[in-house]
Amino acid sequence: MNKVTLVVMDGVGITKEEYGNAVKAADTKNLDLLMKEYPNTLIKAHGTYVGLPSDKDMGNSEVGHNAIGCGQIYPQGSKLAEEAISTKKIFEGSTWKKLINYCKENNTLHFIGLLSDGNVHSHINHLFTMLDEAKAEGIKRVRVHILLDGRDVEETSALKYVDMLEEKLHSLNDDNFDSMIASGGGRMTVTMDRYDANWKIVEKGWKAHVLGDARKFTSAKEAIETYRKEENVTDQYLDSFVVVDDNNNPVGEIIDGDSVIFYNYRKDRAIEISKAFEADEKFNKFNRIRVPKVMYVGMVQYDPDFKIPKHYLVEPPTIEFTLTEELSKYGIREYAVSETQKYGHVTYYWNGNRKEKINEELETYEEIPSDKIEFDKKPKMKSYEITDKLIDAIKSNKYDFLRCNFPNGDMVGHTDNYNAAIEAVEAVDYNLGRIMKAVEEDGSILIVMADHGNVEEMYQLNDREKTPKTSHTTNKVPFIIFGKDLNNIKIKDGDFGLANVAATVAKLFDIEPNPNWLESIIEK
């Protein structure tokens, strides 16, 4: 049986455009060699190829690893939410009805979420539709707690979305309906931490949203304009704020009897704030000071294994026939490694949104703790440590299918530091060379690929002012096969995406792909 190693260069897309392209600007001798001399193609990692509504939608690591790991295309994220809202199915469910009844008389319905149309974590139109329905069903008081984007959209576009929301609220307000923006802050500073990386971010959000404890302003617009002048940072890094009334009191603290909707549909950055709302007195991540008795609801269930949150509005896809399930039938031993920022992607998302292992005896996972600093301050991140672990695992002969994720291209790509992005790509390329050497010595096969684009577009392409672009892209990503004897492997002609990878891996193991999967990228 062959041994196969798969490397995901997270956020490394391919484009001919040189402007702002950290991949082209970097010294990538190993990637260049692979794409010149070994079987390779470019595959799609966005839009309908990963289950998102349209091919204008950027891919992301969650839907990307779902697609790689299950060999199929499932409706994902925004598409699930969009379908539920457009059909009004979301308002027919028992959760919505219970939520509305919980606070219908005298209490407040709160919305917390990312305020943009980036369509990666949330969409402002979903918020607007729920606001309309809340008023139609007799809710009398609404408060919105906004998380500013600047990452999946232009980095200083927050005021555009605030103006849209303020206009919407103004159109709804009357003698029977009172709605306002109550608090907020940048997504990388307030509320939206992930993978237990920095709970202080969640604590800051809790204080602002729940306790009304943050710097006070008369409006969200005043807060944003003030912070921009004082801090010289982009939207995603703006500090927390609360909006106050004429008596300098917060307009939207969350209290007993209120209902709360966290309207983000992407999972990773919604879990920790959900835990803060639902955990019992044993919660020890920070001092919550006051824990209101509320009905807390997520747009989706962010962690199905641990039932977080208990209540949610949109049912998730049921992902079946994953690659790990199939390989387990043949006794294929698996190893997965990454650092904290992407550890969940090579495990939880890869295995179809399952936190538990599919087969305890056949699967081994290793997590390397990420540094708690801004990613452009150390662009190499943990790429060397990941590589050390992976090479040790290859040499151990304990595993048949090994995989890792290098987060550098994505996490540093989300900053506006072009030089750091180049360094990040070079770190990945250098360690890719180390893995190639280990695979060659082992006589096994290596797949090199990415899950979506990012670092290849560090500047907006519609101007030449070097305006930073911090979001993902819709560019294709590389798919490369490396090894000593590849004479019998041929890349097929076709329009392939991430979901074609599972069948390809099966082919390399000389096992028949699951009939539910999309076809293999290779002939063998």
pLDDT digits (tens, 9 = 90+) for 289-307: 999 999 999 999 887 657 8
Structure confidence at residue 211 (pLDDT): 98
Instruction: Pick the closest to residue 8 from 398, 386, 487, 417 (CA basis).
Output: 386
Least confident of 5-19, 137-151, 171-185, 451-465: 451-465
Contact yes or no for 112/261 (Cβ under 8 A): yes
What CATH number is given for 4-76+318-523 in this structure?
Answer: 3.40.720.10
* DSSP, residue by residue, 454-480: -TT--B-TT-SS--B--S-B---EEEE
Q: What is the pLDDT of residue 76?
A: 85
Averaged pLDDT for residues 66-73: 97
Residue % of the chain over a pLDDT of 90? 87
How many Cβ atoms are within 10 Å of 118's Cβ, its own excluded? 23
The mean pLDDT of 383-401, rounded to a whole number, is 98
pLDDT at position 268 is 85
CATH of domain 78-312: 3.40.1450.10
pLDDT value of residue 228? 95
Average pLDDT, the chain: 95
Q: Mean pLDDT, to the nearest integer, of 17-42?
A: 97
Question: What is the rounded distance in angstroms from the CA atom of residue 124 to the CA atom of residue 149?
Answer: 11
Q: Is the pLDDT of residue 1 over 70?
A: no
pLDDT in tens, 190-225: 999 987 889 999 999 999 999 999 999 999 999 999
Secondary structure in 3-state letters for 128-151: HHHHHHHHHCCCCEEEEEEEECCC
In terms of Cα–Cα distance, which of 392, 373, 374, 372 is closest to 384? 392
Q: How many CB atoms lie within 10 A of CB 96?
A: 22
CA-CA-CA-CA torsion sign (321, 324, 329, 330): positive
Q: CB count, 10 Å around CB of 467? A: 15
* Bridge partners (DSSP) listed for residue 201: none
Helix (H, G, I), strand (E, B) or coil at 383: helix
The pLDDT value given to residue 304: 66
pLDDT at 305: 58
Angle at 500 between CA 499 and CA 501, to 5 degrees: 90
Q: What is the mean pLDDT of residues 29-36?
A: 98
| Phi-psi group of 257: left, alpha or beta (phi > 0 → left; psi -120 to 50 → alpha; rest → beta) | left
pLDDT in tens, 419-474: 999 999 999 999 999 999 999 999 999 999 999 999 999 998 877 778 888 889 99
Higher pLDDT, 304 or 266: 266
Domain boundaries, the chain: 4-76+318-523, 78-312
Confidence of residue 524 (pLDDT cuts 50, 70, 90): confident
pLDDT of residue 77: 77
In 3D space, the residue among 468, 476, 481 whose CA is nearest the CA of residue 507 turns out to be: 481
* pTM, rounded to two decimals: 0.79
- Residue numbers annotated as active site: 61
Question: Are 4-76+318-523 and 78-312 in the same CATH fold?
Answer: no
Plot region of 499 (φ>0 → left; ψ -120 to 50 → alpha; else → beta): alpha
Angle between helices 124-136 and 77-86 (to 10 degrees): 30
Residue type, 106: N
C-alpha angle 248/250/254, rounded to 5°? 165
Question: Average of pLDDT values for 46-68?
Answer: 92
